[in-house]
Structure 1
Amino acid sequence: MVAEDAVVAVDLGATHLRAALVTREGQAGDSVVADTPRQGRSGMAVTEAVASAVARVLEGSAARAVGIASAGPIDAAVGSVVRSPNMAFDEVPLVSPLTDRFGLPVRLINDCRAGALGERWRGAGTGVDNLVYITFSTGIGGGAVVDGRLLLGRGGNAGEVGHLHVDFAYSLPCGCGRTGHWEGYASGTGMPRFFAAWSARRGERPAFDASTSRGILEAAVAGDRVALAFMDALGEVNGRAVSDLIVAYDPEMIVIDGPIAQAHGGLILRHMLPHIDRYLPLPAICVSPLGGRAPLFGAAAYALGAGGLSPPGPPRRR
């Protein structure tokens, strides 16, 4: 494989990171997977982990660029992740140090914008010009393709949908420090807190482990009465947020992704759909067929300039 044919794609999440060689035709090689560092003197601990993964991918291979899809927010001008509520560091520099180390162009994009791009390039949204992508993971994020163009916004952060305001009744805290945000209720970290507040208000005593989103969702799958009642409350919150996205973007399709959606997407959709407003026509809503790799493919597409995007120029140095 020659350099012109492939890029190294990196999906940098709050919990794990993965990297793989992806060809211009959209074929991905074996992934290198590692934990995202939570401890260290600075965000360079994460930078070094990403560099190590990229180096392993490049062993015996060549690439023309590196594309990084990262949990945000990002500062696209500087080339760093900044003040991410789900990462352990205020800043994670990526573009400049990796460019210096590998001598390759490095392109940084928010992971959820990358997810939308990946779905349109290789996933459920192939050929769809109006698409919304939502990921349910440690946090909640999203991205939108409108009239065939990926929305990035001023700093590359258009689509921070996890911070849509969905509730005043509980006013639960979000990782960003505000209250009532979607991420504080329906993400992997928010769901157990929402369940604790909801069950305490109703005087419910669960007979299952409600300390994790997995425990709650598996209890609902098993038919537990309390878990199923909670799923309706969760579906109402999800429905409010998705209703906002429909009237904002008028999409043809909504793709949900992330570990929660990949494991329990049918359950999430079943309890959400009755609570979505029908002011505009309901779009097709599905679980991503890419098995959690949409951000990885989106990072590759961004680095290749696929999906109608031209890679940006180099970041400014400080």
Structure 2
Amino acid sequence: MTTAIAVDLGGTNLRAALIDSGATILAHATVLTPTTGPSGEAITAAIIARIEALLASPEGRRVTAIGVASAGPLDLDRGWVVNSPNIAFSVVEITRPLRERFGLPVTLINDARAGVLGERWAGAARGSDNVVYLTLSTGIGGGAVVNGRLLLGMDGNAGEIGHIPVDTRYNLTCGCGYRGHWEGYASAKHIPRFFTVWREEADVRQVAFDAGSTRAIFEAARAEDPVALAFMEALGEVNARGVSAVIVAYNPEVIVLDGPLARYYGDIIIRYMEPCIDRYLTLPRIVVSDLRGRSPLIGAAAYALEAR
């Protein structure tokens, strides 16, 4: 049985794993993604260190490929991560340094595109040929398989659904610099800011929870705090606009939600989002991933093994 090393580079965490051709994770490690240093080489070095540790394990002898999934945008021709709003460096070189260091084939794919592959291979979308994977994390990302084919686009960036325009009322600036994007409202990073402007417009004077914490806002909603629940209505409308656009763009039979927000608060998110989704096309099944955040790792391994 062949084995790949999979890396998942996110804005907060850097994960690496040994995964065999049966989608079994043999070893797994997580460290914080570097945010300081003179250049993106700090992240490249951290990736190399994780790979070296995995190769030193007994299962490392069977590794035939390396797959890296990363937050985008990507420049696939160069093998770079470029100008990602959630990564601290404007350029992170991936494929060339890893290929030269380890002498193995190296693939690079957007983390959400890897996520949809992981869900089709080993998760909630097994057996489905029309799938959208939606990650609600530091940012918002997506990946789509349509009629059994992964959509990549010209530069590998098809599916940047976090940058779907969803609002002109508050007109909040996204991390990418443009206004009104889904990620700028409903990602873990930006929900407290959205709460602040919503609160001002709604003239909410007193709040009984930490309004600067996404977790605290959702925990208050779970405890049925009336202010938090009212905000969930507004957040649900924004999420529904994004999902409505996804449905008419890709016509999926299933949407798989992942990322920390979905894993911890998926029930609340779906409850307030689903009634507001447009019914122009058939409403797909909307589920929360059961792969515990490892869909991009599993998908990166699948992509690397298939390319090899």
Q: TM-score, normalized by length of structure 1? A: 0.94
Aligned residues: 304
CA-to-aligned-CA distance 1:48-80 (integer Å, 9 cap, x gap): 011111111111322101000001111111001
- For 1:31, give the aligned amino acid: H
1:13 matched to which residue of 2? 10
Runs (4 or more) in structure 1 with deviation over 2 Å come to none
Give the match for residue 288 of structure 1.
Answer: 289
- Aligned residues of 1:183 and 1:190 also touching (Cα < 8 A): yes
Aligned with 1:23 (options 20, 24, 32): 20
Deviation at 1:30, TM superposition (A): 2.5
For 2:41, give the aligned amino acid. Answer: M
In structure 1, distance between residues paired with 2:290 and 2:189? 24
Q: Which residue of 2 aligns with 1:301?
A: 302
Residue type of the partner of 2:212? S
Show CA shifts across 1:65-115 (max 9, x none). Answer: 100000111111100100001111010001000111111111000000000
1:316 matched residue in structure 2: none
Query: What are the superposed Cα offsets for residues 105-157 of structure 1, whole Å, 9 maximum, x if unpaired?
Result: 11000000000111011101111000001000000000100000000000000
Q: 2: distance between equivalents of 1:30 and 1:228?
A: 40
Q: Which amino acid aligns with 2:128?
A: V
Matching residue of 1:51: 48
State how far apart, in whole Å, the 2-side matches of 1:212 and 1:52 are: 33
The SS at the match of 1:129 is coil
Counterpart residue identity of residue 103, structure 2: G
RMSD of aligned alpha carbons: 0.8
Q: How does 1:180-259 map to 2 (within 5 A)?
A: 180-204=180-204, 205-259=206-260
The C-alpha deviation readout for 1:191-219, integer Å capped at 9, x for no partner, is 01100000011111211001121111111
Q: Report 1:152-171 matches (<5 A).
A: 152-171=152-171
Letter of the 1:38 counterpart: T
Does residue 123 of the first structure (1) align with residue 123 of the second (2)?
yes
Separation of aligned partners in 1, 2:113 and 2:28: 21
Distance 1:213 1:29 in 2: 33
- TM-score, length-normalised on structure 2? 0.97
Alignment of 1:269-280 (within 5 A): 269-280=270-281
**Amino acid aligned to 1:57:** L
Tell me the distance in 2 between the aligned counterparts of 1:56 and 1:245.
39
Q: Is the contact between residue 47 and residue 93 of structure 1 (CA under 8 Å) also seen in structure 2?
A: yes
**Structure 1 unaligned spans of 5+:** 312-318
The one-letter code sitting in structure 1 at the alignment partner of 2:44 is T
Task: Work out the CA distance in 2 between the residues paired with 1:130 and 1:56.
Answer: 37
Distance (Å, rounded) in 2 between the aligned partners of 1:181 and 1:127:
32
> Is the contact between residue 85 and residue 175 of structure 2 (CA under 8 Å) also seen in structure 1?
yes
Matched-pair contact (CA < 8 Å) for 1:32–1:56: no
Q: Secondary structure at the match of 1:157?
A: coil
Query: Aligned residues: percent identity?
Result: 57
Match of 2:98 in 1: 98
Deviations 1:178-199 (A, max 9, x none): 1100000000111011000000
Distance 2:228 2:121 in 1: 37
2:108 pairs with 1:108: yes
CA distance in 2 between partners of 1:212 and 1:138 (Å): 13
